Structure 1
Amino acid sequence: MKKRNYILIAFLVIVVGAYTGYKYLYKNHRNIETEEASVKVEAKELVGMFASDNTERILNKTVEVTGVITEMDAQSATLDEAIQCTFNQLPQGLEINKKVTIKGRCIGYDDLFEIAKLDQCSLTHYP
Structure 2
Amino acid sequence: IIAVPVIPREKMYDVLLAYHDSSLKGEHLGNNQKYYKIRNSYYWPRMYEDIIEFVKSCSTCTIDRYSRRNYGDYRTNEIYLMGDFVYVKRLGLNHKLSSKYNGPYQIIQQLNESIYRLQNPNELNEIFNVHTSRLRRCY
Q: TM-score surpassing 0.5?
A: no
Structure number with greater Rg is 2
TM-score by length of 1: 0.30
Asked which structure has the greater RCO (Cα within 8 Å, sep 6+), the reply is 1
